[in-house]
Structure 1
Amino acid sequence: MRQLELITGADTNCELDALFVNAPLRDYTLRPRTNDYTLPVLGMAYIATYAQQAGFNVGVLDAEAHGLGIDETAKIVNGAKPRWAAMNLLAPTYEMSARIAAQLDPAIALMVGGHHAKAMPDRVLADPRMVNLRALILGEGELRVTALLKDGTRRRDLPGVLWRDPLLGTRAAGIADSKTSAQMLGPDINALPYVNRAFLPQDPYQAAPTATDRRLAARSAADWIQAAARSGHMEANIVGSRGCPYNCTFCGAAWSANPDVTIRVRSPENIIGELDQLHDKYGVTAFRFVDDLFLGVRNVIEEQMKAFSRHRIGERYVWDATGRINVLDRVSDSELERLVSNGLREVALGIESGSDRILKAMDKRINAEMTERVASRLVEHGIGVKGYFILGFPGESQEDLDATVRHIRNLWRISDQHPGDVRASVFEFRPYPGTPIWQTLIQTGHDPDALLAYGDVDLTGDGADESMRQRDEFNFSVGIEFGDVPLQRIRATLAMLTREQHDRNQGAKEAAA
């Protein structure tokens, strides 16, 4: 019974039509997780919500959020006895997903989707551990998953749905008429229902106050902002758009890896409706836009901010968003001031490197000088910056790595002179199938099996155990040196920078106490 309680959003007293399973990054029976929060599976929740509104009894089992092991996850699925089990396949979790699938009751039909399924469909279909696989769905799944729940034999009429012919052993694919294909593959995102947060065990969540929250309180007399800064916000993650117009070579969202995806942005009224719904139902006062486009296209920013101003969003909420450095570099000071007045608290930027040579290899369309200029303007306006960095990118030299370390420390120095804060989040490079850099690595002789051999890395041996606590789900690697810098030096540098960021966070908390 306790295990069934881990299934969210479903009526477990009735037959389950589908159970959506988010596999863990590693088998947590072997080494328990150390962090207590993981990003919500919004894509999976969108599909589950759509199916639920169509009348199906569906649930989500987020094995990563609950820190479950392989055997326990499979046991819960088999105990729930859904008609369908559905998995989101990602390169780092594929082995975990396949091991779970191998233990499923043969009476449970399996469907899969996600970046890895899209990038390597034939490999997935041929995997003997996927013996129960009845449908592999390429791309956005809301409409096609729901159609399969209505009638599994409809797969032959659904575009972008693949399966293995049991007699011939060849790939079979659904075919739909041209009138329905476009809608099936790219649904109208303004017509989709708002995500039912009952499917997400950790969203909304009570967040601890951030350095930016405290700075907001210091510059505002609004009672609710000061109260939120003292106690932390109730926060929720949200998606404002789908698709990306950029082609960063390491990214699974690169346009060249997703030629089937039409870029779509939700209307401002649709987004604001979800913000208000989350506030009314859960008391949410802070939001994180996790898509690439919210602050990634200038005319989109303009349209959204006009609506935010009309609805006085900044008087009621704060929000964070991902952004593009080259786009924000062209935003005026008055536009930055409007972002602040509309509630912008922090921008997450893919800075990636302090080496212009590596940035060019990544096709980032930025340089280190531009990043410093943008970060300086943001923090001067009191907007926090969360910078993401990649260490060990193919071809990276010690000189490139040193440039990144200097870049991060310089950004910290800049933020120390202004109201906004800079946080650095550093990762070891790992290749994802289907991305531009994956193709380059294969062409230069790398073995696909080796590139897919993801394993978790325990970095606490570098003395950074407390600073690594909230990074547990991100410390994984394929164990290959892609540049000139030894892997141990890359990891030691990662641990050093993470420790320095942790110390900065602690110092900010103590100063505010």
Structure 2
Amino acid sequence: MSRLPLITGADPAHSLDALFVNAPLRDYDQRPRTNDYTLPVLGMAYIATYAQYAGFNVGVLDAEALGLGITETAKIVNVAAPRWTAMNLLAPTYEMSARIAAQLDPDIALMAGGHHAKAMPDRILADPRMANLRALVLGEGELRVAALLEDEQRRRELPGVVWRDRLLGTRVTGITSDPERAAAMLGPDINALPYVDRRFLPQDPYRAVPTEADRRLAASRGTALLGEAAVSGHVEANIVGSRGCPYNCTFCGAAVSANPDLTIRVRTPENIIGELDSLHTEFGVTAFRFVDDLFLGVGRVIEEQMAAFTRHRVGERYVWDATGRINVLDRVSDAELDRLVRNGLREVALGVESGSDRVLKAMDKRIDAEMTERVTRRLTEHGIGVKAYFILGFPGESHDDLQATVRHIHNLWAIADTNPGDVRASVFEFRPYPGTPVWTTLTDAGHAPDTLLAYGDVDLTEDGADESMRARDEFNFSVGIQFGDVPLTKIRSTLATLTRDQHQRNRTALGGAA
């Protein structure tokens, strides 16, 4: 059992208005988890924080971070006896959530949201395990969840809230006649939301182990902050700088076509810097990771943010990592890259996805392999690390496409070997998500939704990637379908080999055994 507290953020002296439950990725009663760390549930913490500011006593039960099984999670909820239990429904963990819901006390009202709720609301409402589901909140939930906690009957006037009439068995949707009110509820002003209360996040902020990126930065930039971090590691925190994505990558749940109701919004630089400083004052945080869909994804936004970062001397005090867009960074000048470095940029996470231009076109990535190598070379020359994400087994992928991706990864590693910035490759097996463009393509081609939703965890240790797979439990999922020309056994052995090679590069760079 983890040493982390079970229910976080709540006032134990008073009854719970709501308990937000993050379901485990698998039933840890059957096989214990191996992760030391899992990503914090920032979206859930945002909603819990807003509900707390509205005067409600709420808590978070992060069953994944705690390594809890299905039965144990349900038991904790039942003992806590909240008025409401709230769940974030994601396709890979939906079965875990539904099994927990089936074991909850019928006196506890259930609300749910998340990508899966938005993509398949009728399927969820019809699931007998979700019999006590009283509100399905589609889209951003802060304002509407607080309204539900105030009075369940308000759901009739809340846009994007659906439920099933218990007598008629029909679907009911909340409505409002005020378009401005509806827009405000569905897309709240993110600059007006309170900063996330970190008491809801048992693993964030955290003390990070020094990485090769930290050591390279200390050697190339030479600041006291980086020198200390290269020895003892930064205290790090995850943060969201924007909501929404303007691109339409066919496999992604954030694709603009999958979220036509979502208004893309960016927090003001002053609002972001205010949270950075707050986290530094309270927890001693000196490193931040922007985990929104695309922080460095629009040229004018990069310019606005970096001008403010310069004014506030952010780079003298902090380092930070961010998501970025390859075709946007390809247009950034050397002078702008220098400014990003001076402002503390440590690493950019890039959705490279493939080394095959044919597959990249099918993904609607708007990049090619040559552009990725060019951008990676320029970033690493400036001392900026690259976290490169790849997908193996995309629909229609051939043996040649797979080999192009393997060569591409080795090319990126070779670029890093001659530059101060590092390259880390993170490789995943393709899995379809409902609501995405490729999901429609697959179902139109005859794949049944039930088979596309049959997510299962994959144990890659038999391919020799045992220790190298540590901290990747949350990513090793599959629906067990061969979508291209390459057999799944080949996909998985390639994935394991690349992951093992990356792990070996990390160990060698940090002075571990070769």
* TM-score > 0.5, shorter chain as reference: yes
Contact 1:4 1:76 (C-alpha < 8 Å) held by counterparts = no
Q: Counterpart in 2 of 1:308?
A: 309
Q: Counterpart in 2 of 1:10?
A: 10
CA deviation after TM superposition for structure 1 residue 211, in Å: 1.0
Query: 1:75/1:288 Cα in 2 relative to 1: closer, same or farther (>3 Å)?
Result: same
Gaps in structure 1 of 5+ consecutive residues: none
For 2:153, give the aligned amino acid. Answer: T
CA deviation after TM superposition for structure 1 residue 39, in Å: 0.4
Distance across 1 between alignment mates of 2:52 and 2:291: 24
Q: Counterpart in 1 of 2:403?
A: 402
CA deviation after TM superposition for structure 1 residue 459, in Å: 0.5
Q: Counterpart in 2 of 1:154?
A: 154
For 2:441, give the aligned amino acid. Answer: T
CA deviation after TM superposition for structure 1 residue 220, in Å: 3.4
Describe the SS at the equivalent of 1:76: helix
Contact 1:392 1:481 (C-alpha < 8 Å) held by counterparts = yes
Describe the SS at the equivalent of 2:288: strand
Distance across 2 between alignment mates of 1:3 and 1:259: 42
Contact 2:16 2:83 (C-alpha < 8 Å) held by counterparts = yes
Distance across 1 between alignment mates of 2:276 and 2:448: 46
Q: Counterpart in 1 of 2:497?
A: 496
Contact 1:12 1:80 (C-alpha < 8 Å) held by counterparts = no
CA deviation after TM superposition for structure 1 residue 512, in Å: 12
Q: Counterpart in 2 of 1:190?
A: 191
Describe the SS at the equivalent of 1:510: coil
CA deviation after TM superposition for structure 1 residue 176, in Å: 1.2
- Map 1:136-285 to 2 at 5 A: 136-178=136-178, 179-285=180-286
Distance across 2 between alignment mates of 1:162 and 1:298: 38
CA deviation after TM superposition for structure 1 residue 5, in Å: 4.0
Q: Counterpart in 1 of 2:325?
A: 324
CA deviation after TM superposition for structure 1 residue 12, in Å: 2.4
Distance across 1 between alignment mates of 2:77 and 2:194: 26
For 1:304, give the aligned amino acid. Answer: Q
For 2:77, give the aligned amino acid. Answer: V
Query: 1:246/1:357 Cα in 2 relative to 1: closer, same or farther (>3 Å)?
Result: same
Q: Counterpart in 2 of 1:368?
A: 369
- Map 1:86-125 to 2 at 5 A: 86-125=86-125
- Map 1:48-59 to 2 at 5 A: 48-59=48-59
For 1:474, give the aligned amino acid. Answer: F
Distance across 2 between alignment mates of 1:347 and 1:397: 29
Contact 2:507 2:513 (C-alpha < 8 Å) held by counterparts = no
Distance across 2 between alignment mates of 1:381 and 1:512: 29
For 2:347, give the aligned amino acid. Answer: E
For 1:154, give the aligned amino acid. Answer: R
CA deviation after TM superposition for structure 1 residue 4, in Å: 11
Q: Counterpart in 2 of 1:411?
A: 412
Q: Do structure 1's residue 487 and structure 2's residue 492 form an aligned pair?
A: no
Query: 1:502/1:301 Cα in 2 relative to 1: closer, same or farther (>3 Å)?
Result: same
Q: Counterpart in 2 of 1:69?
A: 69
Describe the SS at the equivalent of 1:104: coil
Distance across 2 between alignment mates of 1:248 and 1:472: 24
CA deviation after TM superposition for structure 1 residue 222, in Å: 2.6
Contact 1:8 1:61 (C-alpha < 8 Å) held by counterparts = yes
Distance across 1 between alignment mates of 2:341 and 2:321: 11
Describe the SS at the equivalent of 1:145: helix
Contact 2:4 2:66 (C-alpha < 8 Å) held by counterparts = no
Describe the SS at the equivalent of 2:163: strand
Q: Counterpart in 1 of 2:508?
A: 507
Q: Counterpart in 2 of 1:465?
A: 466
Q: Identity over the aligned pairs, expressed in percent?
A: 80
CA deviation after TM superposition for structure 1 residue 221, in Å: 3.7
Provide the TM-score with structure 2 as the length reference: 0.98
CA deviation after TM superposition for structure 1 residue 497, in Å: 0.1
CA deviation after TM superposition for structure 1 residue 500, in Å: 0.2
Q: Counterpart in 2 of 1:347?
A: 348
Q: Counterpart in 2 of 1:291?
A: 292
For 1:298, give the aligned amino acid. Answer: G
For 1:54, give the aligned amino acid. Answer: A
Distance across 2 between alignment mates of 1:96 and 1:113: 15
